[in-house]
Structures are given as C-alpha cells and as structure tokens.
Amino acid sequence: MQMSLEVPHDVQRMRRTIRFLSRPYLRLTRVLGGVLAVLGVVLIVLDPSLAFAYAAVVGGVAVVFAIEPIMVAMGMRSQAAAIQHGYHLTLNDEWMHIAYPLVESRCRWAGLDHVVETPEVWYVMFGKVQAMVVPKDVMTPQQRAEFEAFVAARR
C-alpha cells in the first residue's frame, strides 16, 4: 500500500475526534452524574427541606448533559496552533506519516492497537487515547478499498 493524501483543516472533524477520544471518560462521568441526580431525588422524597438534595439533582443533571460540550470546548482550546492547519498524510505498508506545516508525526503500523471505523473517518488507535485520523472524504473509492483491505489484513 502506498497513499499520499492532502487533508484540509476541518474544525468539525477535530471536534468529532475529541468527542470520540473522550467518550470512555464521559460515559463514567455521566453515570456518576445520573447517580447523583437519582440520589438527590430520593433525598427530596424523604425530606423536601434538604437544600443539598435539590443541588444534587441540578448538579447531577448538569453533569449528565453539560459535561460533553464542556470537555470538547476545552479540548479544542488546548489544541496546539501548529496542528490547526491542513496536513499531508502518507500511508505505506510500514508507516503512517502525518506532516503539518510546522509538525510531523510518524508511527509504525506494528505499534497499532486497533482501528475504529466511523462513517466519516478511520481512527487508527496507538493506545487508549492516541489516535491518528484517516478521513474518508479525501480518498478515492479505490484508496478506501485498499485501506480497508490493509486494515482487515492487520487484524
């Protein structure tokens, strides 16, 4: 396999990537927020005069629904300016190479943990929260088929 792709900067793709990578942590946080809200409701039923119970319900509901947008916004703000440009993606049988105008990253496929496919991209995972993004929209149908076959052979 030998591919060379120009990938334009896409803010929405970056948001989806941050959301994807933070999903395992969000799941636990949302469960804990739901537990806090339910405990608050139970306390309100037992003693409606407890101010803490109302705070627990409001706080729990806020954690369940507001934590994801907050985490994505924080993740977007923490991105280095050097990667807020388009990049050149080179894929071959041994390496995955990403070159931004100011930064380069190169990983061997041997270090690959797994690949997660979504309708828009492939997330090439090199750890639990380290991913390189291979967008589908910049590939030809032949390149997509070739990359899919390459990934399938690595499983």
The share of the chain scoring above pLDDT 90, in percent, equals 78
Q: Radius of gyration over alpha carbons of the chain, in Å?
A: 21
Q: For 12-69, how does the pLDDT look when each residue is reduced to its tens digit (9 = 90+)?
A: 999 999 999 998 888 889 999 999 999 999 999 999 999 999 999 999 999 999 999 9
Rounded to 10 degrees, the C-alpha dihedral 28/29/33/36 comes to: 70
* Highest CATH level, class, for 2-9+82-154: mainly beta
- DSSP tag of 127: S
Cα dihedral sign for 139, 141, 142, 147?
A: positive
The residue ranges of every structural domain in the chain are 2-9+82-154, 11-77
pLDDT at 125: 92
Q: For 83-125, how does the pLDDT look when each residue is reduced to its tens digit (9 = 90+)?
A: 888 999 999 999 999 999 999 999 999 888 899 999 999 999 9
pLDDT at 127: 83
pLDDT at 24: 85
The SS3 call for residue 7 is: strand
pLDDT at 154 over 90: no
